[in-house]
């Protein structure tokens, strides 16, 4: 967990420092039909970083998802750290992604994300490696 937390902190710091010269956006996506979202940072021509976090807690403990990806053009690599249930250990997903995005106007873009290959470390995941497991539509809104 420390490695992933360190990686997420490093990516977050890079993204925050880069906002001096980068555009910042909101993004929303629907992986598996569940609405999610976060922040997008446009770092340079063709390079973007997306970050999101979600969590919950109750009397028995807490759950969370931390997600980040880096895209160069249409190609990206994503990393998800997750504790989907209170009694679960932290697990990770690493994915190779391809996205197609089309601007609607200066403030809104629509896209489709294809997870080409996804590796899941969740205990008991069968299979751990999946090819083309999801196709997710998303929207990007300029702040």
| pLDDT single digits (tens) 29-61 | 776 556 778 899 988 888 999 998 887 776 667
**Segments forming the whole domain that contains residue 101:** 2-142
**d(C-alpha 33, C-alpha 102), whole Å:** 21
Give the pLDDT confidence score for residue 118 in this predicted structure: 92
Helices assigned H by DSSP within the chain:
2-18
Give the pLDDT confidence score for residue 119 in this predicted structure: 93
Task: Calculate the average pLDDT of the chain.
Answer: 82
Residues 6+ apart with CB under 8 A from 122: 82, 84, 88, 91, 93, 128
- Is residue 82's pLDDT more than 90? no
Give the pLDDT confidence score for residue 72 in this predicted structure: 96
| Count of domains observed in the chain | 1
- Is residue 11's pLDDT more than 90? no
- Is residue 83's pLDDT more than 60? yes
CATH number of the domain at 17, please: 2.40.160
| pLDDT single digits (tens) 85-131 | 778 788 899 999 999 999 999 899 999 999 999 999 888 777 888 99
- Is residue 19's pLDDT more than 70? no
């Amino acid at each position: 967990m420390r490695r992933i937390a360190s990686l997420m902190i490093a990516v977050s710091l890079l993204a925050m420092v880069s906002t001096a010269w980068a555009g910042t956006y909101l993004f929303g996506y629907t992986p598996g039909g569940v609405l999610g979202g976060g922040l997008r940072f446009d770092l340079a021509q063709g390079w973007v970083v997306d970050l999101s976090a979600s969590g919950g807690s109750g009397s028995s403990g807490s759950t969370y998802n931390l997600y980040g990806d880096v895209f160069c053009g249409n190609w990206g690599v994503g990393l998800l750290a997750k504790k989907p249930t209170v009694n679960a250990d932290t697990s990770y997903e690493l994915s190779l992604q391809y996205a197609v995005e089309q601007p609607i106007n200066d403030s809104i873009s629509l896209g489709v994300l294809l997870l080409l290959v996804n590796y899941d470390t969740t205990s008991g995941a069968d299979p751990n490696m999946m090819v083309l497991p999801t196709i997710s539509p998303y929207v990007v809104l300029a702040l």
